[in-house]
Chain A
Amino acid sequence: MSTSSTKISTRSGAVNVRAWPTGRRFPSPLAFLRAVVIPMMVLAGALPALAQADPKSSAEVSGQVAELAKQRADLVARLKSLKGKIDSAGGVVTQKANAADVARETIEELRSVVSPLLAAVADNGEIAQLGVAALKNATDRRAALERDLRFTPEERQRLVAAWDARVKATTEANAELEKARAKFLALMYTLQTKEDLIGEWAAVAAQDEVINAIRELTTALNETSADVKNFIAFLEGAGS
């Protein structure tokens, strides 16, 4: 009686499969189990390992790792940028979303600029006094020369005539200055008395800035969410 065996190599080890000798009656169930079923089961256990796909080359793996590192670095940069945008929006809202403060600050800023100008053009202010001083200088000099004995009557007459012309010119210049001063005074006064209205419109404009900041923050959040989602998908697919 002769038997032959075949050796099958698998990843999990070698399996010997013996052939059934010819001219021999069918064996007992135990012998059949030993000779056929067990080797088949061992072979079946080894099949998945045989059917496994080709492993990635080391170059492909390192390329994937590099890509993952790049995407992670990009994501970190975007997340940092988002933090900056959140802080910026918070700053805008803190600073501008208080209408009463915005109106008050605008009014104070306006007052600090307009009030000194109003004081300068006031009816008892510097500019009004400037014209008076200029005219007084001319009239005083003219009067002094009229009785100045250092000069001959002809010289005095010419000097007085010259000062007469200057008194007239100064008076005319003062009249023009007075018109301009009165006009500017009226405007400054109106501006100062409209300060509440100006403050309220400044508060309205500040609220627009708050709305813009909120919208920009919403856009940034949505964009960054998409970036994070893409990164997670890439991460979960890595290595496959």
Chain B
Amino acid sequence: MRVLGLSAAALSLGLAACGDDVGEVAVKVASGFTVPSLTLGPDTFFTSESDRFKAKDDGSPTVLRQRVGPVRLQYERVNGGLVTACSFNVRTNRVVTVTLRAVGREVKCEIME
């Protein structure tokens, strides 16, 4: 009975996650800066839904649709490890524009909501 309850809860969470509440994240790179591979996904302890992508180097933004909620943008180190550049919130029908800049050896985000 308990297993059935947990399954129902998991199913309802899954269905809720399939809802149409999405916003967009536009990732731009400041001129003269070549960024490594990036990942964008929900800012949760455990997630497997991150989108891996390369930012465009012509100045135009990479626009990704993203489910609403807290989101984390990460970049890949040379050794393959992921480092969080910034976290922000995605809201329904809204675009969050993130401009990435290199400050020393770190990647910094400028977020415009």
Contact = CB atoms under 8 A, between A and B. Distances in A.
Interface stretch (A18-26, A42-50, A112-120, A132-140): A112-120
A58 interface: no
B19 to A, nearest CB: 13
Interface residues of B, number: 17
Interface stretch (A29-37, A121-129, A155-163): A121-129
A118 B64 contact: no
Interface string A180-194: 001001100100110
Q: Give chain B's interface secondary structure class.
A: strand
Nearest to B97: A193
Contact of B95 (A112, A182, A193): A193
Task: From B26, B63, B97, name the one whose CB has the most chain A CB atoms within 10 angstroms.
Answer: B63
B7 interface: no
Given A115-B92, A122-B64, 15 more contacts: A112-B93, A114-B93, A115-B22, A115-B24, A115-B93, A115-B95, A122-B65, A123-B53, A123-B63, A123-B64, A124-B51, A124-B64, A186-B60, A189-B61, A193-B95
A-B complex: 4 closest residue pairs judged by Cβ atoms: A115-B93, A119-B65, A111-B93, A122-B65
28 contacts: A111-B93, A112-B93, A114-B93, A115-B22, A115-B23, A115-B24, A115-B94, A115-B95, A116-B93, A118-B95, A119-B24, A119-B65, A122-B24, A122-B63, A122-B65, A123-B53, A123-B62, A123-B64, A124-B51, A124-B64, A125-B65, A182-B60, A189-B26, A189-B61, A189-B63, A189-B95, A193-B95, A193-B97
